[in-house]
Amino acid sequence: MVHSTTNPKLPSYVHPALREHQPDLDRAFDAYRRLRGEGVKAKYLPKEVEEPDDSYQSRLDRSVFPDFFREALAGYAGILSEFTLSSPPATFEAATDDIDREGNSIVAWLQRADTLMLRDGGVWLRVEMPAGQASSSAEEVITDRRPYLVANPRSQVINWRTSVEDGREQLEWVIVREEDEEPDDFGVKIVVRYRMIGRGEWTLYEIQQEGKKEPEAVIVDDGVYLGADQNPLPVCPVIWYRADEGNGFGRGELPMRQVVEHCFEHFLTRSDLNEKRRRCSMPVPWVKGRLARTGPDGQPLRMAIGPNTIVELDENGNFGFAEPSASSLSDQRQGVLDVEQLIRSQTLGFLYGESGAVKTATQAGMEGAQTESAIKRLALRKSSAMQQLMAIWCLFTGETLDPGAGLSMSSTIFERPMEAADVDQLQKLAGGVELMSQRSAIEELIRRGKNRSVTSVDDELQRLVAETPEPADEPGVNDFGAMPPE
């Protein structure tokens, strides 16, 4: 059942700010999934006029959506994953290997959150707590009753309400659209529910219409969020982690919207190019002055072409193959390359610049400053989001949050990756001599996370010494100072 998204009396009502961006969110979602799903390709590759159904389906099957968008998201998320926790609460640090109670570490969980933030322009993060209350500290340890983190995509949180306190906008509540599986004989059925999360409480709604003229919201479950002091939580345990610097919860543009648009442009252009190449690669036979041959029924026989057949012609007849002109293929192929260049210029290739390009010192410096500024803004917003999550976490556990709690981003995220050609050029400029000591090389590998087996340079050097084989015994001499007899 499709519930109304414009009826303000139902929990399925969608906030106008989300409704404005929903078309872009749908396109970004389809691009991220590489148009996987029944009928998704057909939405973006329409059928031509008078095109037969079987030909259209074959064209859809041959068309491949590019992977630029998903790879770009993975690249950005990988850069932002170079961090360490700064002064986290003790219980938070103890839970970093399973921060969401689904087996994901804090690094893996934040990578997914960063991916959703960059894909959709923002992501809703919240701190959850198992229902009920433990009777003792021992029960909390045995049942592993503790807070955990949840990330909801932008489209999943369909509505929210805010208020202004002390000049700051605060969340009053959000509504999360949930799809739950319930058994249906030997199968399953999807039931849509709406969870309202507010200050110190939550309510789960279903929309029912059986036997009623108008649909209505029915409460199927509810509960409270109790802090460590056994009082309802004074805040809504949800934060808005956004990509841009826009104001307001649930608002903000999609930072990679143009990349998505160019991916669809590449999909259409390359599909057209492949169809044209396919047709131009199929020469059409032609015949002039062919002898008429008929079968027993008097009907003309079909002409067969192959290594074991002949074509009978009249006098001065001729036979050959006609190939369509492919003069426009090169121009269309260049168009595909131009689209790929546009995509690269808006992803990581733009941040770090083209590795093969020759640049002046000014150009390299400007690109470096732009790179550092772009990533630093994302890193600051990520650190702020983590600090807010830790603050809510401490409301559940009763711990005191350190003023410097949050994330500390690695300094290497601002550096352009050094390639083999860069190292080779430095080696040549130095006259081919060794430019790095063994200790410095090990330190660099550890700093960049390439050697995770040890935590210090001395440990690795000790391992190298332990693995060095003992030298062979030198030949001795006898008492007379001569070599021993063989």
Cα distances (angstroms) measured from residue 228 to each of 131, 141, 234, 248, 355 = 14, 16, 12, 30, 54
> Which residues of 29-186 form beta strands (DSSP E)?
83-86, 122-128, 148-153, 157-165, 168-184
Q: Among candidates 2, 8, 14, which has minimal Cα distance to 160? A: 14
Whether residue 298 is found in the same domain as residue 150 = no
Dihedral of alpha carbons 443, 448, 450, 453, sign:
positive
Whether residue 211 is found in the same domain as residue 159 = yes
Q: How far apart are CA 384 and CA 35, in angstroms?
A: 34
Whether residue 71 is found in the same domain as residue 168 = yes
Q: Is residue 483 part of a domain?
A: no
* Amino acid (one-letter) located at 252: G
Q: Which helix (H) or strand (E) holds 58?
A: helix 53-62
- List the chain pLDDT tens, one digit each, 486 residues: 678 899 999 999 999 999 999 999 999 999 999 999 888 999 999 888 888 899 889 889 988 898 889 888 888 888 888 888 888 999 999 999 999 999 999 999 999 999 999 999 999 999 999 876 655 555 555 556 899 999 999 999 999 999 988 778 899 999 999 999 889 889 999 999 999 999 999 999 999 887 667 888 999 999 999 998 889 999 999 999 998 876 789 998 898 898 899 889 888 888 887 777 777 766 677 788 776 677 788 777 777 777 777 777 777 788 777 766 655 556 666 666 767 776 666 665 544 555 444 455 454 444 555 656 777 788 888 989 999 999 999 999 999 999 888 888 765 555 555 666 766 777 777 777 777 787 877 777 776 667 777 767 788 888 888 887 776 666 555 555 555 555
Whether residue 200 is found in the same domain as residue 79 = yes
> Which residues of 185-228 form beta strands (DSSP E)?
187-198, 201-208, 216-224
Q: How many domains does the chain have?
A: 2
Asked if residues 118 and 241 have their Cβ atoms less than 8 Å apart, the reply is: no
**Confidence (pTM):** 0.74
Of 240, 256, 272, the residue at which a domain comes to its end is: 256
Of 322, 346, 370, the residue at which a domain comes to its end is: 322
Whether residue 294 is found in the same domain as residue 221 = no
Whether residue 200 is found in the same domain as residue 237 = yes
**Amino acid 348: pLDDT:** 57
Q: Is residue 278 part of a domain?
A: no
Of 239, 256, 273, the residue at which a domain comes to its end is: 256
Whether residue 88 is found in the same domain as residue 172 = yes
Q: Is residue 334 part of a domain?
A: no
Q: Is residue 24 part of a domain?
A: yes
Q: How far apart are CA 87 and CA 45, in angstroms?
A: 51
Q: Is residue 145 part of a domain?
A: yes
Q: Is residue 341 part of a domain?
A: no
Q: Is residue 440 part of a domain?
A: no
Q: Is residue 265 part of a domain?
A: no
Whether residue 110 is found in the same domain as residue 228 = yes
Q: How far apart are CA 461 and CA 443, in angstroms?
A: 10
Q: Among candidates 174, 118, 79, which has minimal Cα distance to 371? A: 79
Whether residue 144 is found in the same domain as residue 234 = yes
Whether residue 142 is found in the same domain as residue 240 = yes
Q: How far apart are CA 205 and CA 221, in angstroms?
A: 7
Range of the domain at 27: 16-32+67-256
